[in-house]
Amino acid sequence: MKRFIAFILLFFAAFVFAQRDREILKDIDSISQRRWDSVSLDLDSLSNPKLINFDRHFKDTIVIRDKVVMSNFTQELPITPYNLLKLKEPIKWFYYGSNNLVFNQSTFSNWNSGGNNNIGIIGKINYNLSYKNNKHFLDNTLQLGYGFVATQGESSRKTEDYINLMTNYGYDIGKDFYLSTGFQFLSQFSPGFNYTETPNPEFADRISRFMSPGYLNAGLGISYNPNENFQVIFRPVNGKFTFVTDTLLQKAGKYGLEKDGQNVRSEIGALVNILYRLKIYKDINFVNQINFFSNYIFHPERVDITYNGTLNIRFNKFITTVVSIDLLYDHDQLQKLQMKQTLGVGFSYNLGFENKEKNKKLIKPFVTD
């Protein structure tokens, strides 16, 4: 009798497991071909089979297995697209950027030598959005800056003001050379004044404002980018356009205008842009950028020169000291060398993705769907 009962129980257990397996097989048979593209079987445990989902990706999609966290960089950001151009993966878009806030302040109390309390603030951003597809690349840069100083007993005065938008398309022709075309737009946000002649200026005393002047450079040429710290762009065909939209400033001689009421000055010539970063020490670097433009038609020997030099000293990932100098010579505007120099200590925060490759941190591309 005991043997009979044991046989019945064993038969019943086998029947239950068979029915369970049959249900699983039934589920599998009901999965269509399209369903198989997005699900798979996990048979790590035969005693507990189950269905799990896995991600489905298109052929040209990059899959980042590890969690990518946006973080601030402790090292300097790239100044040329070299690292992007040398990437082997089929990466489409990526971006990075920096944000800077620079302060300077002075306070006086019973100071025999005299002096007025003052505080100055300068804010700057520098963002890059780039695209790469095989031998094609598109490099877009936006730089904005604005600053002022407020002194006791005086009206606040502007110390920094610029808008700089650059776009450059290139096609790789080998050995670090690229056929390129692009444009650069330059202007400012608010009216500018000559504080020496008008210590407390009114709007009517303005000598500049947004799009007065505004500059547009556009041309075709070739670029050379052998490493991440050096780049040369040569455009033998380049148009330079100077815009003055403010009727008060449309006077002959101002910003190279040839007659009263003229709002655009057009020039055709050649442009050379050289960008070089000198790494002095681990957290100290000096970035140099110089532009040369020669007008083919009107006095080609009068070369317009624009130079910017910036010394960056990083104390930690947030605190930096920046010393910059700007030089400008444009014979059509002023037959003298124009100069601007600033120094300040402030906060810096860089955005982007980090990736360690061969013990070196590189920009990790931002992947879009």
CA–CA separation, 165 and 13 (whole Å): 75
pLDDT above 70 (res 80): yes
On whether the CB atoms of residues 270 and 303 are closer than 8 A, the answer is no
CA–CA separation, 126 and 310 (whole Å): 14
- At 23 the pLDDT is 57
Delimit the domains of the chain by residue range.
2-51, 64-363
Instruction: Say how many C-beta atoms besides its own lie within 10 A of residue 186's C-beta.
Output: 17
- φ/ψ region of 176 (left if φ > 0, alpha if ψ in -120 to 50, else beta) reads left
What is the amino acid identity at position 210?
F
- At 63 the pLDDT is 41
Average pLDDT over the chain reads: 80
On whether the CB atoms of residues 202 and 171 are closer than 8 A, the answer is no
Q: Determine the distance from the C-alpha atom of residue 322 to the mean position of all C-alpha atoms in its chain, rounded to a whole number.
A: 18
- At 367 the pLDDT is 38
Residue with the larger pLDDT of the pair 1 and 132 = 132
Fold observed for domain 64-363? Outer membrane phospholipase (ompla); Chain C (2.40.230)
How do residues 219-250 score in pLDDT, each as one tens digit?
999 999 999 899 999 999 999 999 999 999 99
Residues in the chain: 369
How do residues 286-341 score in pLDDT, each as one tens digit?
999 999 999 999 999 999 999 999 999 988 888 999 899 999 999 888 889 999 88
Looking at the whole model, is its pTM more than 0.85?
Answer: no
- At 253 the pLDDT is 81
CA–CA separation, 228 and 108 (whole Å): 46
Q: By mean pLDDT, which of 17-21, 65-69, 91-95 is the weakest?
A: 65-69
CA–CA separation, 190 and 201 (whole Å): 13
